[in-house]
Structure 1
Amino acid sequence: MPLAPATGEQRATLLFQLCIGVYFLGGFLNSLVGLLVPRLRMIEGLNHTRSLLVQFAFHSSYLLFAVPITVLVVKFGYMRSIAAGLVVIALGCGLLAASLGSLGYMTVLLALLAVAGGVTFLQIAANIVVPVVEPARRAVSRLTLLQGFNSLGTVLASLAGSTLLLGTGRQRSGALADHIRVVLPFLAVALVALVLAAAFISRRDLLPASSTPRRVPLPGIVAVLSNRRLLAGGGAMFAYVGAEVTIGTLLVEYLAMPDILDVSPVAAGQLVGLYWTGALIGRLVGARYLTRYGATTMLLGCAMVAVGLVAVAIGLQGPVAAAALLAVGLCNAIMYPTIFALSLPDDHSTATYASMLLCMVVVGGAIIPLLTGVVADAAGLRMSFMLPGVCYIVIAAFARWRHRTWGL
């Protein structure tokens, strides 16, 4: 007897479950890329600016590829685009594994650009499939919960990746063994990405035909992209990604400083797991409280607390300063899904183009860390955290503005 067609609620639930794997993989991969920076800085001996080019290469692809990928998403649909992005990630991770072995620094940057091209597919398509099949208020909560699984991936990658990527400099067991330890996590990501791609292709019927992105004439696209809500949200998203990536990337070196915790790179890398654990806990708890207290109120409160914690990390020393900077992860917890949902236009049929802009401004994760690295080389690592602090002020301003215009 043939199975009855899935209801809209069942399709939404199954699609949400598939997206869990995508978000987990994205968090795992993002954390691995972040650990490449302290490896290049503390083990390979590069300065802040040059080592932070890793994040520049990874996040600049969002700006470079967002427009052509949006065209592909509109043409082929969300599910096929997610599958394509996962395949590109797998290929990019394979190239990255090869380049980390013997192909040199510039090839590493090119491989990261390729990996991030696949991630751009996911940023544009995967972030939309949940809001278009869920009621508006539940969409914020479910996006936050998905970000919780993203954080779980970053936590596990911090714990495992710090040993594999940062331990090779002190535990010399032969060039081949070192190479295997470094490339193993990226090869694992490639394998999981291919499995997920097959799952999305086989279940592409989960998204109803009515949710297919529609082509919008050029004047309509201009109107969508000039929406005040979207532009303000784009500025907040630029600031958020820049701040989170900067702090998560520089935490290893910060915690290893003699006047902070004076620990080894491996130990510092494992402690960074607490930063992502804070984001994990905050997202799982925040998904529940967002509907109770309102998205804009939660966003404003988290941004202002983050400003205070960054100030403590700059002004104090020892465990208190370390704990303050690690606690910023808890404040980051609800920011991405909340800013994303607060920025989208009311017309979901044009959401792909809005998502394109919000994906492009993720280039903040390329620009803010690089600028912070320049400041760190000139004025010291501690003072460079002033730049992420300013980013959180920008987010607070957006939350206050949206509260006045939306009342949530």
Structure 2
Amino acid sequence: MEHYSQAAPVASGQSQAGGNTGPLVIVTILFFMWGLLTSLNDVLIPHLKAVYTLTYVQAMLVQFCFFGAYFIVSLPAGMLIKKIGYQNGAVAGLTIAAAGCALFYPAATSGYTLFLIAFFVLAGGITILQVAANPYVAILGDARTASSRLTLTQAFNSLGTTVAPTLGGMLILAGGVLSSADLAKLTTEQLAAYHHAQAASVQGPYLALAGALLVLAILFSLARLPKIIDTATGGAQGGFTEVLKHRHLALGVVAIFLYVGGEVSIGSFLINFMGDAHVAGLSAADAAPYVSYYWGGAMVGRFIGFAVMRTISPGKALAFNAAAVIVLVLVAIFSGGALAMWSLLAVGLFNSIMFPTIFSMALNKLGPLTGQGSGLLCMAIVGGALVPFAQGLLADNISLQLSFLVPAACYLFILYFGVKYANMYTEE
């Protein structure tokens, strides 16, 4: 059954049965790049927290600005892409993201505020990129395998997130950060010089990323991709009010909000969690490579999910994984040592299929409202801004380990969503 037929977007001048491999390869490169950029935040948060002596809540302003951009930019991004097209929209997103990376250079000499502005600009570009790319993958093939196909491309997004923490640890954290006692011994001039040197360690890596994004923007603008068109007339009628009448989409928006919030929150606190004496007592530089296991697990899980969900209902797979995450997070909260550390790192494996599965299930059979649905789902990524902020408040006021109850609660709703729509496709 064609879930996206009947007024769904299609690739102009291209058979749905074949010819999709090339476009999917090109779009997959974009997934890799935004995975790399997003995961670098997990390294920068503990680094900036130490350099600027921030509380957990202040450090989480990084994710607040980064994922807040999704909420603010998603609607304008959808309008921009409608006007200039999916391919040109992706090029615009890459260019804006490159500008955000370039801003890290002056931020190193200007303080924490400019870093936050740079994160917002970078995320704005990535948002435009994501609004363009997710529907692209969804329509390039049979709708029954949309979850599987989007999971495969998300696996390469995970390759980027897997590489980033180790790379960032080597390039940004290698010099180490002085303790509070050592900082107290420095003169005012020495302290200023130290802060400058630590902040400047991000300049080289982010200038290189800016250059790579610009090159990719040029190559992408020259690529021959099929033009995506909407076969419906008056597809925008009713707007968000109309599309939210579809209960599975409305619940999908909540699920994306909580999933992204939970995933980002865990990743953001991982290095500090592993630095806790009750857990592993690792330095930031030593802990950073372990974050690659968290994101690497998601990559491996997506390849597994790509195969498994060709025979098992996406909803059932989603519910199983959510239940597994809840158990693992609770073990991490109420145990210690290696068991707590590896339980939390193992969450990545079960996170693997969640975003693409929720996304494609929520868009199922929306027809001409697919564009609006995609926009709402991308806006829901603002969960990555708010949930880590909530966990930061709990970490500052209770304890870091108990603060993981926040993401654990998020996954309860994911479990509900998966169970509720376990038979979504078989019932049609």
TM-score (norm 2): 0.89
Indicate the residue corresponding to 2:221 in structure 1: 201
Matched, 1:49 2:68: no
Letter of the 1:202 partner, please give it. L
Aligned to 1:369, the other structure's residue is in SS state helix
The 5 A counterparts of 1:31-42 are: 31-42=39-50
TM-aligned CA deviation for residue 184 of structure 1: 2.2
5+ residue gaps, structure 1: none
Letter of the 1:275 partner, please give it. Y
Indicate the residue corresponding to 1:327 in structure 2: 346
Q: Structure 1: how far apart are the matches of 2:103 and 2:231?
A: 33
Alignment counterpart, residue 173 of structure 2, candidates 166, 169, 182 = 166
5+ residue gaps, structure 2: 1-12, 179-189
Cα gap change, 1:41/1:229 in structure 2, threshold over 3 Å: closer, same or farther?
same
Letter of the 1:248 partner, please give it. G
Indicate the residue corresponding to 1:60 in structure 2: 68
Letter of the 2:100 partner, please give it. G
Indicate the residue corresponding to 2:359 in structure 1: 340
Indicate the residue corresponding to 2:211 in structure 1: 191
Structure 1, 122-131 or 136-145: larger mean CA deviation: 136-145
Q: Structure 1: how far apart are the matches of 2:85 and 2:423?
A: 35
Cα gap change, 1:377/1:180 in structure 2, threshold over 3 Å: closer, same or farther?
closer
Cα gap change, 1:405/1:176 in structure 2, threshold over 3 Å: closer, same or farther?
closer
Aligned to 2:20, the other structure's residue is in SS state helix
Cα gap change, 1:406/1:137 in structure 2, threshold over 3 Å: closer, same or farther?
closer
| CA offset digits 1:16-68 (Å, max 9, x no partner) | 10012101101110011222111122343211000011000000011111111
TM-aligned CA deviation for residue 188 of structure 1: 2.2
Alignment counterpart, residue 238 of structure 2, candidates 204, 219, 224 = 219
TM-aligned CA deviation for residue 98 of structure 1: 2.1
Cα gap change, 1:177/1:381 in structure 2, threshold over 3 Å: closer, same or farther?
closer
Indicate the residue corresponding to 2:187 in structure 1: none
Indicate the residue corresponding to 1:363 in structure 2: 382
| CA offset digits 1:136-191 (Å, max 9, x no partner) | 12221121111111111111111110122223334999888756632222222212
Aligned to 2:214, the other structure's residue is in SS state helix
Q: Structure 2: how far apart are the matches of 1:118 and 1:236?
A: 23
Structure 1, 309-318 or 64-73: larger mean CA deviation: 64-73
Alignment counterpart, residue 94 of structure 2, candidates 73, 86, 89 = 86
Indicate the residue corresponding to 2:186 in structure 1: none
Alignment counterpart, residue 336 of structure 2, candidates 317, 320, 330 = 317
Letter of the 1:237 partner, please give it. I
Letter of the 2:69 partner, please give it. S
Q: Structure 1: how far apart are the matches of 2:308 and 2:236?
A: 39
* Aligned residue-pair number: 402
Tell me if the contact between 2:104 and 2:202 (Cα under 8 Å) persists in the aligned partners. Answer: no
Q: Structure 2: how far apart are the matches of 1:103 and 1:9?
A: 53
Cα gap change, 1:221/1:389 in structure 2, threshold over 3 Å: closer, same or farther?
closer
Q: Structure 2: how far apart are the matches of 1:300 and 1:121?
A: 30
Q: Structure 1: how far apart are the matches of 2:88 and 2:231?
A: 11
Aligned to 2:310, the other structure's residue is in SS state helix
Aligned to 2:277, the other structure's residue is in SS state coil
More helix by share: 1
Of all paired residues, the percent bearing the same amino acid is: 36
Cα gap change, 1:380/1:127 in structure 2, threshold over 3 Å: closer, same or farther?
same
Q: Structure 2: how far apart are the matches of 1:354 and 1:262?
A: 44
TM-aligned CA deviation for residue 124 of structure 1: 0.9
Q: Structure 2: how far apart are the matches of 1:220 and 1:122?
A: 22
Q: Structure 2: how far apart are the matches of 1:215 and 1:271?
A: 50
Indicate the residue corresponding to 1:257 in structure 2: 276
Cα gap change, 1:207/1:140 in structure 2, threshold over 3 Å: closer, same or farther?
same
TM-aligned CA deviation for residue 77 of structure 1: 1.3
TM-aligned CA deviation for residue 267 of structure 1: 0.9
Cα gap change, 1:28/1:371 in structure 2, threshold over 3 Å: closer, same or farther?
same
| CA offset digits 1:274-331 (Å, max 9, x no partner) | 1111111101111111112121111000000000000000000000110100000001
Tell me if the contact between 2:318 and 2:418 (Cα under 8 Å) persists in the aligned partners. Answer: yes
The 5 A counterparts of 1:3-402 are: 8=16, 11-99=19-107, 101-170=108-177, 181-203=201-223, 205-211=224-230, 216-402=235-421
TM-score (norm 1): 0.93
